Copies of this chain bind each other. A is one copy, B any other.
Amino acid sequence: MQRIINDPDNIVDEMLEGFLKAHADIVEATANPRVIKARNIPGAKVGIITGGGSGHKPAFIGYVGKNMCDAAAVGEIFSSPTAAAFLDAAKVADQKKGVACLYGNYSGDNMNVKMAVAMAKKEGIAIKTVIANDDVASAPADQREKRRGVAGEIFMWKVGAAKAAQGASLDEVIAAAQKAVDSTRSVGIGLSPCTLPAADHPNFAIKPSTMEIGIGHHGEPGMKVEPLGSAEDIAKIMVNIVLPDYPFKEGDQTAVLVSGLGATPVMELYVLYNEIEKLLQQKGIKIYKNYVGNYFTSLEMKGATFTMMKLDDELKELIDMPACSMGLKEGVCS
């Protein structure tokens, strides 16, 4: 595999070392090498933590920062962090106002968070969770609780963290983050696979000239495989999966996120966004705010995700709050 790494078994630790050096103005190390925290977490606010497997840069550590997550637990590539790491993240973020653990719906994360929550409670930390499950393609609407969390997690973090920054209570933060999740839907399309650094061949296959509709952030197979379409076709498929599921309707104000999966040139993301915008315009749906870029990746997978959140006044205000993390810079980074 054509990679810039040393020992594949150390890639996560070395990446963290480099990340901490590069962004010393935003984040810092903690006693647990698999937990990083924001610099200068303001006191007297609800702590926001998250965590997940590595290989999704900027997620997860790229969303730690000012008015964003206060700490993140870091797992191996595509593998949940340990319960101990989630626990330590909670401890680091705890300002005696409670901790909100906002993470994505994967069985490893669920188990480890569950154990961490039990341990945190024993230690007297008021901790509650919100589980993102925005990936429409990963389960039918009547089993929403089984859906995976994908790029929509970014909206959950932004909204929950902004609410906490406003000084809201733990319950209010949880309610806002849950509202973000409930108002958000995503779908992914895969064009080529990725290879785990410790492996010597891709961990799944996407045949040339085909695309996998509904693919997950780890290459989990999607709903179906079809001949590779044009950007316009892909936009239509995505919009037709996401829109009816919520449902989004004429007049809605939304936040739209088009994220690359890693190796798709950013140029193509703009071509895709252009098509999606046209379709939404036709349906009278307004894009209040957009995000186009590599916001939540899967190593060097080719493909893209489309995420849409319906906004109300509260969500608008929260999504607009300045924030400073490596992956999301809005307004003042000081």
Interface residues of A (CB under 8 A from B): 2-6, 11, 14-19, 21-22, 54-55, 57-58, 189, 191-192, 206, 208-209, 211, 228, 230-232, 234, 262-275, 277, 290, 292, 294, 297, 299-300, 302-304, 329-334
Instruction: Determine the distance from Cα of A270 to Cα of B208 in the docked complex, in whole angstroms.
Output: 30
User: In the docked arrangement, what's the CA distance between A6 and B267, Å?
Assistant: 12
| Cross-chain contact A55 with B14 (CB below 8 angstroms) | no
CA distance A297 to B268 in the complex (A): 13
A267 and B304 contact, CB distance less than 8 A: no
A15: which of B22, B54, B271 is its contact (CB, 8 Å)? B271
> In the complex, are the beta carbons of B231 and A273 less than 8 A apart?
no
Nearest-CB residue, chain B, relative to A190: B2
Given contacts A57-B267, A267-B54, contact A21 B262 (CB under 8 A): no
Closest 7 CB pairs of A and B: A18-B274, A18-B270, A263-B263, A2-B191, A57-B266, A4-B268, A18-B273
A298–chain B nearest beta-carbon distance, Å:
9
A334 contact set on B, CB distance < 8 A: 331
